[in-house]
Amino acid sequence: AQSVAQPEDQVNVAEGNPLTVKCTYSVSGNPYLFWYVQYPNRGLQFLLKYITGDNLVKGSYGFEAEFNKSQTSFHLKKPSALVSDSALYFCAVRDESSGNTGKLIFGQGTTLQVKP
């Protein structure tokens, strides 16, 4: 069965330090992977995606993600965290079982807390 896992409910990091938000996936074919961010009482905003090509994907707001096929992971990273990065982050994978419907399977979300 297809799935996405975000093993950490919350990640705490000091401002200026590098941050990593973890995501692992399970799909039978080639994964299409996405990261979204959600600020309180707002909708989700698209950050970046991996479809094919370079394993390091760069996205919005200085975020990047590294696709690792052998470890089935797609961790979100940023070299230097900002307090304003504090939010809820979701990893998602395309639902292959639904054909070409565009359905996504979302992880449970990880709260990132960046402290000054």
Binding residues vs another protein (CB under 8 A): 9, 32, 34, 36, 41-46, 49, 51-52, 90, 94, 100-104, 106-109
Look-up of token digits 């304003």? 84
Q: SS3 for 60?
A: helix
Separation of CA 9 from chain center: 13
Closer CB to another protein, 39 or 71, in the complex:
39
Nearest approach in angstroms of CB 68 to another protein is 19
- Give dist(CA 49, CA 87) in Å, integer: 18
CA 105 – CA 116 distance, rounded (Å):
33
Query: Least Å distance between CB 103 and another protein?
Result: 6
Residue closer to another protein (CB basis): 15 or 22: 22
Q: How far is the CB of 95 from another protein (least distance, A)?
A: 9
